[in-house]
């Protein structure tokens, strides 16, 4: 459904007093999306996700690179691309002062339907998304979740084989977010391919067959959520060191104070020497030890820290997440980058 190679986008930013600066929003993105997939572009705000999806949807031209969407070249055949896709941006694209039903019919007419066809399709979508009882109210009177469902319906009026969703759940409460996830899964069951952008780790993990992680306009990782997490390790022990008497190297009966780089480096060296620890990473005052079979080895890790004279302020054991994947590839947490 999508094949992009070396996709780049450079903007000219005005910096005052007539000065301009070239800003590379997307610096060479490769993407392949198969038919019937839910595919995510995951990354922090400002990473280039929205710019990438807007180029693929023919809303802005690429500066360089090539892309084919639904078999059509985005630069040479933009009209054919648009007839093959649905697109819902972050703003939703609804007329706040008109009823939702009118917006659906209008979208159908823009897509080339007769009025009768547009009205029939609108009724199908109102029923499918549970919106019939709100259909004649002005959009501005609806809740955030209802507006988002109307936006999805508008994007699906023309029965597109490929659906673009840009940050679909931003601003939604947990219940409406879960409901929208169900709608996205339903699209896949009906044969629609979905490309979505998100900066929510749990969203990409829960929904996607495959994903790419973008940072500073470049793809830093690609694969299924399970494949990417498997590259990191089975379990993650996250810990912060507690207050100690003095900031010195560990030894019998000696403690380390929290927060100093020497403390973290000593703890990192101690943990790295354990045979069950694959890797140790430091981030500010936090250490993350990637271990095999964390539940079994956690007592051994605690004993090693105690023997090394290290006091612990907090510790947790979790499965590896996509945030750990981002940390591995960029050296910082996705949440912190966002």
Angle at 328 between CA 323 and CA 331, to 5 degrees: 95
Is 307 inside a domain boundary? Answer: yes
Q: What residues make up the domain containing 311?
A: 234-319
Which of 241-245, 285-289, 298-302 is most confident? Answer: 298-302
* Res 282: pLDDT: 83
Domain match, 289 and 217 both: no
Domain match, 12 and 75 both: yes
Segment 87-100 mean pLDDT: 91
211 Cβ partners below 8 Å, 6+ apart?
39, 40, 41, 42, 204, 222, 223, 224, 225, 228, 322
Is 131 inside a domain boundary? Answer: no
Q: Which of 6-10, 12-16, 175-179, 332-336 is least confident?
A: 332-336
Domain match, 175 and 311 both: no
Domain match, 269 and 205 both: no
Is 168 inside a domain boundary? Answer: yes
CATH number at residue 208: 3.40.50.300
Domain match, 178 and 314 both: no
Is 24 inside a domain boundary? Answer: yes
Q: 127-139 pLDDT, tens per residue?
A: 989 999 999 999 9
Q: 229-269 pLDDT, tens per residue?
A: 888 867 899 999 875 433 333 444 333 344 455 677 888 89
φ/ψ bin of 16: left (φ > 0), alpha (ψ from -120 to 50), beta (otherwise): left
Domain match, 63 and 176 both: yes
Distance between CA atoms of residues 122 and 21, nearest Å: 46
For the chain, give the mean pLDDT. Answer: 89
In total, how many domains does the chain have?
Answer: 2
Edge-first strand order for the sheet with 286-291 is 277-283, 286-291, 235-241, 312-319
Considering only the C-alpha atoms of the chain, give the largest distance between any 2 of them, rounded to a whole number of Å.
Answer: 83
259 Cβ partners below 8 Å, 6+ apart?
241, 285
Domain match, 52 and 201 both: yes
CATH number at residue 314: 3.30.70.260
Using DSSP's 3-state secondary structure scheme, residue 186 falls into: helix
309 Cβ partners below 8 Å, 6+ apart?
244, 250, 251, 252, 253, 254, 255, 256
CA distances to 107, 126, 143, 212 from 196, in Å: 21, 22, 22, 11
* Res 250: pLDDT: 40
């Amino acid at each position: 459904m999508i094949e992009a190679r070396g996709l780049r986008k450079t903007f000219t930013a005005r910096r005052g007093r007539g000065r301009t600066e070239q800003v590379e929003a997307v610096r060479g993105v490769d993407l392949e999306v198969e038919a019937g997939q839910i595919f995510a572009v995951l990354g922090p705000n400002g990473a280039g996700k929205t710019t990438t999806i807007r180029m693929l949807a023919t809303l802005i031209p690429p500066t360089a690179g090539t892309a084919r969407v639904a078999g059509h070249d985005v630069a040479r055949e933009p009209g054919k691309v648009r007839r093959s896709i649905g697109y819902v941006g972050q703003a939703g694209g609804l007329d706040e002062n008109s009823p939702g039903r009118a917006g659906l019919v209008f979208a159908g007419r823009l897509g080339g339907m007769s009025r009768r066809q547009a009205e029939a399709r609108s009724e199908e979508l109102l029923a499918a998304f549970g919106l019939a009882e709100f259909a004649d109210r002005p959009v501005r009177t609806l809740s955030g979740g209802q507006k988002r469902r109307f936006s999805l319906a508008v994007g699906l009026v023309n029965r597109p084989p490929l659906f673009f969703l840009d940050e679909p759940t931003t601003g939604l409460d947990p219940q409406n977010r879960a409901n929208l996830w169900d709608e996205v899964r339903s699209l896949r069951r009906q044969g629609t391919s979905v490309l979505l952008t998100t900066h929510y780790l749990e969203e990409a993990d829960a929904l996607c067959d495959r994903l790419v992680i973008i940072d500073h306009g470049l793809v830093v990782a690609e694969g299924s959520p399970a494949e990417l997490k498997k590259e990191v390790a089975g379990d993650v022990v996250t810990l912060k060191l507690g207050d100690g008497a003095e900031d010195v190297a560990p030894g019998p009966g000696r403690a380390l104070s929290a927060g100093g780089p020497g403390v973290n480096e000593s703890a990192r060296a101690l943990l790295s020497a354990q045979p069950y620890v694959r890797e140790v990473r430091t981030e500010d005052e936090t250490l993350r030890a990637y271990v095999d079979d964390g539940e079994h080895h956690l007592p051994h890790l605690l004993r090693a820290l105690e023997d090394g004279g290290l006091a612990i302020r907090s510790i947790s054991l979790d499965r590896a997440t996509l945030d750990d994947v981002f940390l591995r590839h960029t050296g910082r947490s996705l949440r912190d980058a966002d």
